[in-house]
Structure 1
Protein backbone atom coordinates (compact mmCIF):
# COMPACT_ATOMS: atom_id res chain seq x y z
CA UNK A 1 0.00 0.00 0.00
CA UNK A 2 2.79 2.39 0.91
CA UNK A 3 4.54 1.54 -2.36
CA UNK A 4 1.34 2.26 -4.30
CA UNK A 5 0.90 5.69 -2.61
CA UNK A 6 4.55 6.55 -3.22
CA UNK A 7 4.23 5.62 -6.88
CA UNK A 8 1.05 7.69 -7.25
CA UNK A 9 2.72 10.70 -5.62
CA UNK A 10 5.69 10.35 -7.94
CA UNK A 11 3.40 10.37 -11.01
CA UNK A 12 1.55 13.46 -9.75
CA UNK A 13 4.77 15.36 -9.04
CA UNK A 14 6.18 14.43 -12.43
CA UNK A 15 3.09 15.83 -14.12
CA UNK A 16 3.27 19.03 -12.06
CA UNK A 17 6.91 19.60 -12.94
CA UNK A 18 6.15 19.47 -16.64
CA UNK A 19 2.85 21.36 -16.38
CA UNK A 20 1.99 24.91 -17.39
CA UNK A 21 0.06 26.85 -14.78
CA UNK A 22 -2.66 29.22 -15.93
CA UNK A 23 -4.72 31.66 -13.88
CA UNK A 24 -7.97 32.82 -15.50
CA UNK A 25 -7.01 30.81 -18.58
CA UNK A 26 -7.23 27.13 -19.53
CA UNK A 27 -4.74 27.77 -22.32
CA UNK A 28 -1.51 28.96 -20.64
CA UNK A 29 1.20 30.15 -23.03
CA UNK A 30 4.12 29.69 -20.67
CA UNK A 31 5.30 28.05 -17.48
CA UNK A 32 3.10 30.51 -15.58
CA UNK A 33 0.44 32.62 -17.26
CA UNK A 34 -2.07 35.09 -15.79
CA UNK A 35 -4.84 36.30 -18.06
CA UNK A 36 -5.82 39.49 -16.27
CA UNK A 37 -8.82 40.19 -18.48
CA UNK A 38 -10.11 36.61 -18.70
CA UNK A 39 -10.42 37.17 -22.44
CA UNK A 40 -7.95 34.71 -23.98
CA UNK A 41 -8.92 32.04 -26.47
CA UNK A 42 -9.43 28.48 -25.25
CA UNK A 43 -7.18 27.24 -28.05
CA UNK A 44 -4.46 28.92 -30.07
CA UNK A 45 -2.55 32.12 -29.40
CA UNK A 46 -4.33 35.12 -27.88
CA UNK A 47 -4.48 38.29 -29.99
CA UNK A 48 -2.29 41.33 -29.29
CA UNK A 49 -5.28 43.02 -27.65
CA UNK A 50 -5.94 39.97 -25.48
CA UNK A 51 -2.26 39.73 -24.50
CA UNK A 52 -2.23 43.36 -23.34
CA UNK A 53 -3.54 42.37 -19.87
CA UNK A 54 -1.45 39.21 -19.52
CA UNK A 55 1.59 38.30 -17.43
CA UNK A 56 3.68 35.37 -18.64
CA UNK A 57 6.76 33.47 -17.50
CA UNK A 58 8.12 31.46 -20.42
CA UNK A 59 11.04 29.37 -21.57
CA UNK A 60 12.47 31.47 -24.41
CA UNK A 61 14.85 30.02 -26.97
CA UNK A 62 15.17 33.52 -28.45
CA UNK A 63 17.46 34.71 -25.65
CA UNK A 64 19.32 31.48 -24.95
CA UNK A 65 18.39 27.82 -24.61
CA UNK A 66 16.72 27.05 -21.30
CA UNK A 67 16.40 30.72 -20.34
CA UNK A 68 13.36 31.92 -18.41
CA UNK A 69 11.85 35.21 -19.61
CA UNK A 70 9.01 37.37 -18.30
CA UNK A 71 6.46 39.08 -20.50
CA UNK A 72 4.19 41.92 -19.38
CA UNK A 73 1.49 42.52 -21.96
CA UNK A 74 2.94 39.81 -24.21
CA UNK A 75 2.89 36.01 -24.12
CA UNK A 76 6.02 35.73 -26.28
CA UNK A 77 8.79 37.67 -24.48
CA UNK A 78 12.03 38.01 -26.45
CA UNK A 79 14.15 39.48 -23.64
CA UNK A 80 14.65 38.48 -20.01
CA UNK A 81 12.02 41.14 -19.21
CA UNK A 82 9.79 42.19 -22.10
CA UNK A 83 7.23 44.98 -21.54
CA UNK A 84 4.90 45.21 -24.55
CA UNK A 85 3.78 48.76 -23.93
CA UNK A 86 4.36 51.49 -21.34
CA UNK A 87 7.26 52.81 -19.30
CA UNK A 88 9.47 51.37 -16.60
CA UNK A 89 9.23 53.14 -13.24
CA UNK A 90 11.18 52.70 -10.02
CA UNK A 91 9.51 54.37 -7.06
CA UNK A 92 11.81 55.91 -4.46
CA UNK A 93 14.84 55.21 -6.65
CA UNK A 94 18.15 55.37 -4.84
CA UNK A 95 19.49 58.93 -5.05
CA UNK A 96 23.17 58.05 -4.64
CA UNK A 97 25.53 59.77 -7.09
CA UNK A 98 26.89 57.70 -9.95
CA UNK A 99 30.40 56.30 -9.88
CA UNK A 100 32.98 56.03 -12.62
CA UNK A 101 32.10 52.39 -13.33
CA UNK A 102 28.45 53.18 -14.13
CA UNK A 103 27.24 52.89 -17.72
CA UNK A 104 24.85 55.06 -19.74
CA UNK A 105 21.72 53.36 -21.11
CA UNK A 106 19.80 53.94 -24.33
CA UNK A 107 16.73 52.35 -25.94
CA UNK A 108 16.93 51.25 -29.58
CA UNK A 109 14.12 51.57 -32.14
CA UNK A 110 12.60 48.33 -30.84
CA UNK A 111 12.55 49.61 -27.25
CA UNK A 112 15.36 47.30 -26.11
CA UNK A 113 17.38 48.97 -23.34
CA UNK A 114 21.13 48.52 -23.67
CA UNK A 115 24.44 50.10 -22.71
CA UNK A 116 25.38 53.12 -24.83
CA UNK A 117 28.77 51.97 -26.05
CA UNK A 118 31.35 50.98 -23.48
CA UNK A 119 32.16 54.39 -22.07
CA UNK A 120 31.78 54.82 -18.34
CA UNK A 121 29.52 57.46 -16.80
CA UNK A 122 31.50 60.46 -15.60
CA UNK A 123 31.11 61.05 -11.88
CA UNK A 124 33.63 63.91 -11.95
CA UNK A 125 32.03 65.87 -14.78
CA UNK A 126 28.54 65.92 -16.28
CA UNK A 127 26.89 63.02 -18.08
CA UNK A 128 28.90 61.41 -20.85
CA UNK A 129 31.44 64.20 -21.23
CA UNK A 130 34.83 63.30 -22.67
CA UNK A 131 36.36 66.80 -22.69
CA UNK A 132 36.06 70.07 -20.83
CA UNK A 133 38.79 72.54 -21.76
CA UNK A 134 38.73 76.14 -20.50
CA UNK A 135 40.96 78.86 -19.10
CA UNK A 136 44.43 80.19 -19.71
CA UNK A 137 46.09 83.55 -20.35
CA UNK A 138 44.11 86.16 -22.25
CA UNK A 139 44.98 86.91 -25.89
CA UNK A 140 45.01 90.32 -27.59
CA UNK A 141 44.57 91.27 -31.25
CA UNK A 142 47.83 93.20 -31.42
CA UNK A 143 50.09 90.27 -30.51
CA UNK A 144 48.25 86.98 -30.75
CA UNK A 145 46.31 86.76 -34.03
CA UNK A 146 45.98 88.27 -37.48
CA UNK A 147 43.01 89.96 -39.10
CA UNK A 148 40.88 87.69 -41.33
CA UNK A 149 42.72 84.50 -40.37
CA UNK A 150 41.27 81.60 -38.40
CA UNK A 151 43.34 80.75 -35.32
CA UNK A 152 42.99 77.70 -33.06
CA UNK A 153 42.12 78.63 -29.49
CA UNK A 154 44.40 76.88 -26.98
CA UNK A 155 42.69 76.13 -23.68
CA UNK A 156 43.69 74.49 -20.41
CA UNK A 157 42.47 70.98 -19.63
CA UNK A 158 39.76 70.80 -16.98
CA UNK A 159 38.52 67.26 -17.66
CA UNK A 160 40.02 64.84 -20.19
CA UNK A 161 39.63 61.19 -19.07
CA UNK A 162 40.84 59.83 -22.42
CA UNK A 163 43.91 62.08 -22.50
CA UNK A 164 42.78 63.06 -26.00
CA UNK A 165 43.23 66.87 -25.90
CA UNK A 166 46.57 68.54 -26.54
CA UNK A 167 46.60 72.01 -24.93
CA UNK A 168 49.69 72.97 -26.94
CA UNK A 169 47.81 72.56 -30.25
CA UNK A 170 44.20 72.93 -29.11
CA UNK A 171 43.30 69.67 -30.86
CA UNK A 172 41.10 66.88 -29.49
CA UNK A 173 41.78 63.56 -31.24
CA UNK A 174 38.75 61.25 -31.33
CA UNK A 175 39.48 57.94 -29.61
CA UNK A 176 36.37 55.95 -30.59
CA UNK A 177 33.83 55.99 -33.39
CA UNK A 178 30.50 57.40 -32.28
CA UNK A 179 27.99 60.21 -32.15
CA UNK A 180 29.39 63.33 -30.48
CA UNK A 181 28.03 66.66 -29.29
CA UNK A 182 30.52 69.51 -29.74
CA UNK A 183 30.16 72.85 -27.97
CA UNK A 184 32.56 75.77 -28.26
CA UNK A 185 32.38 79.27 -26.83
CA UNK A 186 34.83 82.13 -27.34
CA UNK A 187 34.66 85.19 -25.10
CA UNK A 188 35.69 88.38 -26.94
CA UNK A 189 36.25 91.36 -24.64
CA UNK A 190 36.64 95.07 -25.28
CA UNK A 191 37.23 97.75 -22.63
CA UNK A 192 34.27 99.59 -21.17
CA UNK A 193 35.98 102.89 -21.90
CA UNK A 194 39.18 104.34 -23.37
CA UNK A 195 39.28 102.64 -26.76
CA UNK A 196 37.28 105.03 -28.88
CA UNK A 197 33.74 106.31 -28.89
CA UNK A 198 30.84 104.67 -30.65
CA UNK A 199 30.79 106.06 -34.19
CA UNK A 200 29.27 103.20 -36.17
CA UNK A 201 32.52 101.53 -37.17
CA UNK A 202 32.67 97.82 -36.48
CA UNK A 203 34.10 94.46 -37.42
CA UNK A 204 32.94 90.84 -37.42
CA UNK A 205 34.06 88.16 -34.97
CA UNK A 206 33.65 84.45 -35.70
CA UNK A 207 33.80 81.27 -33.60
CA UNK A 208 33.94 77.95 -35.44
CA UNK A 209 34.13 74.26 -34.62
CA UNK A 210 36.46 72.37 -36.93
CA UNK A 211 36.65 68.65 -37.65
CA UNK A 212 39.95 67.97 -39.37
CA UNK A 213 40.22 70.86 -41.86
CA UNK A 214 36.52 71.58 -42.29
CA UNK A 215 34.16 73.83 -40.33
CA UNK A 216 31.07 72.05 -39.00
CA UNK A 217 29.56 75.04 -37.16
CA UNK A 218 30.17 78.79 -37.21
CA UNK A 219 28.74 81.74 -35.27
CA UNK A 220 29.49 85.41 -35.83
CA UNK A 221 28.70 88.74 -34.16
CA UNK A 222 29.33 92.38 -34.90
CA UNK A 223 31.60 94.21 -32.45
CA UNK A 224 31.19 98.01 -32.56
CA UNK A 225 33.93 100.36 -31.49
CA UNK A 226 33.04 102.02 -28.19
CA UNK A 227 29.86 99.98 -27.82
CA UNK A 228 29.35 99.68 -24.06
CA UNK A 229 27.27 97.19 -22.12
CA UNK A 230 25.50 98.59 -19.03
CA UNK A 231 28.39 97.58 -16.78
CA UNK A 232 30.17 99.50 -14.01
CA UNK A 233 32.77 102.10 -14.99
CA UNK A 234 36.18 100.73 -16.04
CA UNK A 235 34.58 97.35 -16.70
CA UNK A 236 34.64 95.57 -20.08
CA UNK A 237 32.24 94.46 -22.80
CA UNK A 238 32.05 90.69 -23.22
CA UNK A 239 30.73 89.00 -26.35
CA UNK A 240 30.01 85.27 -26.07
CA UNK A 241 30.16 83.56 -29.45
CA UNK A 242 29.00 79.96 -29.21
CA UNK A 243 28.90 77.17 -31.81
CA UNK A 244 27.66 73.62 -31.43
CA UNK A 245 27.22 70.53 -33.58
CA UNK A 246 26.02 66.95 -33.19
CA UNK A 247 28.02 64.79 -35.56
CA UNK A 248 29.25 61.24 -36.20
CA UNK A 249 33.01 61.04 -35.81
CA UNK A 250 35.54 58.30 -36.42
CA UNK A 251 38.59 57.46 -34.36
CA UNK A 252 41.54 59.61 -35.41
CA UNK A 253 39.55 62.64 -36.51
CA UNK A 254 40.57 65.93 -34.93
CA UNK A 255 38.33 68.55 -33.34
CA UNK A 256 39.36 72.14 -32.62
CA UNK A 257 37.79 75.44 -31.62
CA UNK A 258 38.90 78.34 -33.83
CA UNK A 259 38.21 82.08 -34.03
CA UNK A 260 38.60 84.91 -36.52
CA UNK A 261 38.12 88.68 -36.53
CA UNK A 262 37.54 90.63 -39.72
CA UNK A 263 37.87 94.41 -39.82
CA UNK A 264 39.63 94.15 -36.48
CA UNK A 265 40.93 97.72 -36.59
CA UNK A 266 37.36 99.01 -36.63
CA UNK A 267 36.45 97.32 -33.33
CA UNK A 268 38.77 99.26 -31.00
CA UNK A 269 40.99 102.31 -31.00
CA UNK A 270 43.97 100.17 -30.00
CA UNK A 271 44.31 96.53 -31.09
CA UNK A 272 45.70 95.59 -27.67
CA UNK A 273 42.30 96.47 -26.22
CA UNK A 274 40.53 93.67 -28.13
CA UNK A 275 41.03 90.49 -26.15
CA UNK A 276 39.89 86.92 -25.91
CA UNK A 277 39.12 85.97 -22.33
CA UNK A 278 40.02 82.32 -21.96
CA UNK A 279 38.34 82.30 -18.56
CA UNK A 280 35.10 82.84 -20.49
CA UNK A 281 35.92 80.42 -23.32
CA UNK A 282 35.65 76.66 -23.45
CA UNK A 283 35.48 73.55 -25.62
CA UNK A 284 33.16 70.80 -24.41
CA UNK A 285 32.73 67.42 -26.10
CA UNK A 286 30.16 64.79 -25.10
CA UNK A 287 30.03 61.27 -26.55
CA UNK A 288 26.37 60.41 -27.04
CA UNK A 289 26.66 56.92 -28.53
Structure 2
Protein backbone atom coordinates (compact mmCIF):
# COMPACT_ATOMS: atom_id res chain seq x y z
CA UNK A 1 0.00 0.00 0.00
CA UNK A 2 2.86 2.39 0.84
CA UNK A 3 4.45 1.76 -2.59
CA UNK A 4 1.19 2.55 -4.34
CA UNK A 5 0.86 5.84 -2.45
CA UNK A 6 4.41 6.83 -3.38
CA UNK A 7 3.71 6.06 -7.03
CA UNK A 8 0.63 8.28 -7.02
CA UNK A 9 2.58 11.11 -5.41
CA UNK A 10 5.25 10.87 -8.15
CA UNK A 11 2.64 10.94 -10.90
CA UNK A 12 0.85 13.92 -9.42
CA UNK A 13 4.15 15.77 -9.02
CA UNK A 14 5.02 15.21 -12.70
CA UNK A 15 1.68 16.23 -14.14
CA UNK A 16 -1.36 18.21 -13.25
CA UNK A 17 -4.92 17.27 -14.14
CA UNK A 18 -7.40 20.13 -13.93
CA UNK A 19 -10.79 20.03 -15.64
CA UNK A 20 -9.67 17.11 -17.80
CA UNK A 21 -6.34 18.75 -18.71
CA UNK A 22 -2.97 17.11 -18.20
CA UNK A 23 0.32 18.93 -18.07
CA UNK A 24 3.76 17.33 -18.24
CA UNK A 25 6.55 19.56 -16.92
CA UNK A 26 3.96 22.31 -16.48
CA UNK A 27 1.32 23.13 -13.84
CA UNK A 28 -0.47 25.38 -16.34
CA UNK A 29 -1.65 23.14 -19.22
CA UNK A 30 -3.31 24.86 -22.19
CA UNK A 31 -4.89 21.78 -23.72
CA UNK A 32 -6.14 18.28 -22.98
CA UNK A 33 -2.46 17.31 -23.05
CA UNK A 34 0.36 19.83 -22.77
CA UNK A 35 4.05 18.91 -22.70
CA UNK A 36 6.53 21.66 -21.80
CA UNK A 37 9.88 20.35 -23.03
CA UNK A 38 12.06 22.91 -21.27
CA UNK A 39 9.90 23.59 -18.18
CA UNK A 40 9.92 27.29 -19.08
CA UNK A 41 6.20 28.07 -19.22
CA UNK A 42 4.51 30.61 -16.91
CA UNK A 43 2.93 29.13 -13.80
CA UNK A 44 -0.45 30.72 -14.56
CA UNK A 45 -2.33 32.61 -17.23
CA UNK A 46 -2.42 32.04 -20.98
CA UNK A 47 0.25 34.46 -22.14
CA UNK A 48 3.18 32.50 -23.59
CA UNK A 49 6.11 33.90 -25.52
CA UNK A 50 7.08 32.33 -28.87
CA UNK A 51 10.27 30.91 -27.35
CA UNK A 52 8.27 29.31 -24.52
CA UNK A 53 5.90 27.70 -27.03
CA UNK A 54 8.67 26.52 -29.33
CA UNK A 55 9.50 23.53 -27.14
CA UNK A 56 5.87 22.64 -26.33
CA UNK A 57 3.49 20.04 -27.72
CA UNK A 58 -0.26 20.54 -27.20
CA UNK A 59 -3.35 18.45 -27.96
CA UNK A 60 -6.52 20.54 -27.84
CA UNK A 61 -10.06 19.50 -26.94
CA UNK A 62 -10.97 19.71 -30.67
CA UNK A 63 -8.31 17.12 -31.51
CA UNK A 64 -5.74 19.52 -32.95
CA UNK A 65 -2.02 18.92 -32.45
CA UNK A 66 0.33 21.84 -31.99
CA UNK A 67 4.11 21.33 -32.13
CA UNK A 68 5.78 24.58 -31.18
CA UNK A 69 2.49 26.40 -30.70
CA UNK A 70 -0.19 26.25 -28.02
CA UNK A 71 -2.90 27.44 -30.45
CA UNK A 72 -2.96 25.06 -33.42
CA UNK A 73 -5.23 26.39 -36.17
CA UNK A 74 -5.41 23.13 -38.13
CA UNK A 75 -5.29 19.41 -37.32
CA UNK A 76 -1.47 19.44 -37.23
CA UNK A 77 0.23 22.81 -36.75
CA UNK A 78 3.99 23.32 -36.39
CA UNK A 79 4.14 27.04 -37.11
CA UNK A 80 6.32 29.11 -34.83
CA UNK A 81 8.75 32.01 -35.24
CA UNK A 82 11.54 29.54 -34.45
CA UNK A 83 12.06 26.05 -35.88
CA UNK A 84 8.76 25.12 -37.51
CA UNK A 85 9.95 22.65 -40.15
CA UNK A 86 8.11 19.37 -40.66
CA UNK A 87 10.15 16.36 -41.82
CA UNK A 88 8.85 13.62 -44.13
CA UNK A 89 10.46 10.26 -44.74
CA UNK A 90 10.15 7.71 -47.54
CA UNK A 91 7.75 4.77 -47.48
CA UNK A 92 7.47 1.45 -49.29
CA UNK A 93 3.66 1.75 -49.34
CA UNK A 94 2.01 2.05 -52.73
CA UNK A 95 0.11 5.25 -53.43
CA UNK A 96 -3.18 3.33 -53.22
CA UNK A 97 -2.29 1.79 -49.84
CA UNK A 98 -1.02 5.11 -48.41
CA UNK A 99 -4.28 6.62 -49.75
CA UNK A 100 -5.03 9.97 -51.28
CA UNK A 101 -3.37 12.92 -49.56
CA UNK A 102 -0.37 11.05 -48.12
CA UNK A 103 3.02 12.79 -48.44
CA UNK A 104 6.50 11.28 -48.54
CA UNK A 105 10.05 12.33 -49.37
CA UNK A 106 11.85 10.38 -52.09
CA UNK A 107 14.51 12.60 -53.70
CA UNK A 108 11.90 15.33 -53.49
CA UNK A 109 8.43 15.67 -51.97
CA UNK A 110 5.71 13.47 -53.46
CA UNK A 111 2.03 13.11 -52.69
CA UNK A 112 -0.46 10.33 -53.33
CA UNK A 113 -3.52 10.97 -55.48
CA UNK A 114 -4.81 7.52 -54.53
CA UNK A 115 -3.34 5.89 -57.63
CA UNK A 116 0.27 7.03 -57.96
CA UNK A 117 2.95 9.11 -56.24
CA UNK A 118 3.13 12.56 -57.84
CA UNK A 119 6.16 14.86 -57.51
CA UNK A 120 5.30 17.97 -55.56
CA UNK A 121 6.86 20.80 -57.57
CA UNK A 122 9.17 23.10 -55.65
CA UNK A 123 8.50 26.69 -56.59
CA UNK A 124 11.48 28.56 -57.95
CA UNK A 125 11.95 32.26 -57.35
CA UNK A 126 11.42 34.46 -60.36
CA UNK A 127 15.14 35.19 -60.65
CA UNK A 128 15.95 31.47 -60.50
CA UNK A 129 13.60 30.27 -63.27
CA UNK A 130 15.19 29.20 -66.53
CA UNK A 131 14.53 31.23 -69.67
CA UNK A 132 16.31 30.44 -72.94
CA UNK A 133 16.07 32.35 -76.23
CA UNK A 134 17.99 31.23 -79.33
CA UNK A 135 17.96 31.70 -83.10
CA UNK A 136 19.27 29.70 -86.04
CA UNK A 137 20.77 31.27 -89.16
CA UNK A 138 22.49 28.25 -90.71
CA UNK A 139 21.59 24.90 -92.26
CA UNK A 140 23.51 22.64 -89.86
CA UNK A 141 21.57 19.54 -88.84
CA UNK A 142 22.14 15.99 -87.69
CA UNK A 143 20.26 13.60 -89.96
CA UNK A 144 18.28 10.56 -88.78
CA UNK A 145 19.50 10.64 -85.16
CA UNK A 146 20.98 13.27 -82.82
CA UNK A 147 24.23 11.30 -82.40
CA UNK A 148 25.10 11.49 -86.11
CA UNK A 149 27.70 13.79 -87.62
CA UNK A 150 26.70 17.37 -88.36
CA UNK A 151 25.61 17.89 -91.97
CA UNK A 152 25.03 21.11 -93.90
CA UNK A 153 21.64 20.99 -95.60
CA UNK A 154 18.30 19.45 -94.65
CA UNK A 155 17.01 16.22 -96.12
CA UNK A 156 13.49 15.71 -97.44
CA UNK A 157 11.63 12.90 -95.60
CA UNK A 158 14.33 12.58 -92.94
CA UNK A 159 14.59 13.57 -89.29
CA UNK A 160 16.62 16.77 -89.25
CA UNK A 161 17.85 17.46 -85.70
CA UNK A 162 18.47 21.19 -85.37
CA UNK A 163 21.94 22.04 -84.07
CA UNK A 164 24.31 25.01 -84.17
CA UNK A 165 21.96 27.58 -82.63
CA UNK A 166 22.97 31.05 -81.53
CA UNK A 167 21.94 31.65 -77.93
CA UNK A 168 20.75 35.21 -77.48
CA UNK A 169 19.70 34.97 -73.84
CA UNK A 170 19.73 32.57 -70.90
CA UNK A 171 19.32 33.47 -67.25
CA UNK A 172 19.88 31.34 -64.16
CA UNK A 173 23.04 29.22 -64.49
CA UNK A 174 23.47 30.11 -68.15
CA UNK A 175 24.40 26.57 -69.22
CA UNK A 176 21.11 24.64 -69.39
CA UNK A 177 20.92 25.02 -73.17
CA UNK A 178 23.81 23.75 -75.31
CA UNK A 179 23.54 25.90 -78.42
CA UNK A 180 25.99 23.71 -80.31
CA UNK A 181 24.03 20.47 -79.89
CA UNK A 182 20.56 22.00 -79.54
CA UNK A 183 19.99 20.07 -76.29
CA UNK A 184 18.28 21.67 -73.29
CA UNK A 185 18.94 19.96 -69.92
CA UNK A 186 16.57 20.64 -67.01
CA UNK A 187 18.59 21.94 -64.03
CA UNK A 188 15.83 20.90 -61.60
CA UNK A 189 12.34 19.39 -61.53
CA UNK A 190 9.77 21.69 -63.06
CA UNK A 191 7.32 22.49 -65.82
CA UNK A 192 8.92 23.94 -68.95
CA UNK A 193 7.14 25.49 -71.93
CA UNK A 194 9.20 24.95 -75.09
CA UNK A 195 8.55 26.53 -78.49
CA UNK A 196 10.45 26.68 -81.76
CA UNK A 197 9.77 27.85 -85.32
CA UNK A 198 11.20 26.63 -88.63
CA UNK A 199 10.88 28.23 -92.03
CA UNK A 200 12.18 26.66 -95.24
CA UNK A 201 13.76 28.87 -97.88
CA UNK A 202 11.34 29.53 -100.80
CA UNK A 203 10.87 26.39 -102.89
CA UNK A 204 8.39 24.73 -105.21
CA UNK A 205 5.93 22.60 -103.27
CA UNK A 206 4.85 19.68 -105.46
CA UNK A 207 1.50 18.04 -104.78
CA UNK A 208 1.62 14.36 -103.95
CA UNK A 209 -1.45 12.33 -104.85
CA UNK A 210 -0.43 9.57 -102.43
CA UNK A 211 -2.77 10.14 -99.45
CA UNK A 212 -0.49 8.09 -97.23
CA UNK A 213 2.39 10.49 -97.84
CA UNK A 214 0.93 14.02 -97.73
CA UNK A 215 2.78 17.23 -98.40
CA UNK A 216 3.65 18.46 -94.93
CA UNK A 217 6.26 19.95 -92.64
CA UNK A 218 6.57 18.95 -88.99
CA UNK A 219 8.17 20.65 -85.98
CA UNK A 220 8.91 18.10 -83.27
CA UNK A 221 10.11 18.12 -79.65
CA UNK A 222 11.78 15.00 -78.29
CA UNK A 223 12.21 14.45 -74.54
CA UNK A 224 15.06 12.20 -73.37
CA UNK A 225 15.82 10.65 -69.99
CA UNK A 226 18.48 11.93 -67.59
CA UNK A 227 21.30 9.74 -68.90
CA UNK A 228 23.75 10.78 -71.61
CA UNK A 229 22.21 8.54 -74.28
CA UNK A 230 20.34 9.86 -77.32
CA UNK A 231 19.16 6.51 -78.66
CA UNK A 232 15.53 5.57 -79.21
CA UNK A 233 15.60 3.71 -75.88
CA UNK A 234 16.33 7.01 -74.10
CA UNK A 235 13.22 8.77 -75.47
CA UNK A 236 10.51 9.50 -72.89
CA UNK A 237 8.03 11.29 -75.14
CA UNK A 238 7.68 12.98 -78.53
CA UNK A 239 5.40 15.92 -79.37
CA UNK A 240 4.70 16.61 -83.05
CA UNK A 241 3.14 19.69 -84.63
CA UNK A 242 2.42 19.43 -88.38
CA UNK A 243 1.36 21.77 -91.17
CA UNK A 244 0.00 20.13 -94.34
CA UNK A 245 -0.45 21.44 -97.88
CA UNK A 246 -2.66 20.04 -100.61
CA UNK A 247 -1.83 21.82 -103.88
CA UNK A 248 1.07 22.53 -106.21
CA UNK A 249 2.70 25.92 -105.94
CA UNK A 250 2.83 28.05 -109.08
CA UNK A 251 5.97 29.69 -107.78
CA UNK A 252 8.31 29.24 -104.87
CA UNK A 253 6.78 29.37 -101.40
CA UNK A 254 7.99 29.38 -97.79
CA UNK A 255 6.92 26.33 -95.80
CA UNK A 256 7.09 26.78 -92.06
CA UNK A 257 5.96 25.15 -88.86
CA UNK A 258 5.89 25.76 -85.13
CA UNK A 259 5.68 23.48 -82.12
CA UNK A 260 4.83 24.68 -78.61
CA UNK A 261 4.43 22.18 -75.79
CA UNK A 262 4.63 21.94 -72.00
CA UNK A 263 6.79 19.29 -70.36
CA UNK A 264 7.24 18.19 -66.78
CA UNK A 265 10.97 17.52 -66.65
CA UNK A 266 12.93 15.90 -63.85
CA UNK A 267 16.42 17.25 -63.21
CA UNK A 268 18.80 16.01 -65.90
CA UNK A 269 16.18 15.15 -68.51
CA UNK A 270 16.87 16.60 -71.96
CA UNK A 271 14.81 18.23 -74.68
CA UNK A 272 15.75 18.57 -78.36
CA UNK A 273 13.99 20.00 -81.45
CA UNK A 274 13.94 18.55 -84.94
CA UNK A 275 12.00 18.87 -88.17
CA UNK A 276 10.66 16.41 -90.72
CA UNK A 277 9.14 17.40 -94.05
CA UNK A 278 7.82 16.01 -97.31
CA UNK A 279 7.53 18.93 -99.69
CA UNK A 280 8.28 17.64 -103.18
CA UNK A 281 7.99 13.84 -103.07
CA UNK A 282 11.72 13.32 -103.51
CA UNK A 283 14.78 12.46 -101.48
CA UNK A 284 16.72 15.46 -102.71
CA UNK A 285 19.34 16.51 -100.19
CA UNK A 286 20.48 19.93 -99.03
CA UNK A 287 17.25 21.79 -98.61
CA UNK A 288 17.76 25.14 -96.88
CA UNK A 289 16.14 27.01 -94.07
CA UNK A 290 15.33 30.66 -94.47
CA UNK A 291 18.55 31.75 -92.79
CA UNK A 292 18.09 35.50 -92.92
CA UNK A 293 18.62 37.47 -89.74
CA UNK A 294 14.89 38.20 -89.48
CA UNK A 295 14.26 35.52 -86.84
CA UNK A 296 12.41 32.97 -88.97
CA UNK A 297 14.00 30.10 -87.01
CA UNK A 298 13.83 30.67 -83.28
CA UNK A 299 13.63 28.76 -80.01
CA UNK A 300 12.31 29.70 -76.58
CA UNK A 301 12.20 27.62 -73.39
CA UNK A 302 10.67 29.10 -70.24
CA UNK A 303 10.23 27.48 -66.83
CA UNK A 304 6.82 28.03 -65.29
TM-score, normalising length: structure 2: 0.46
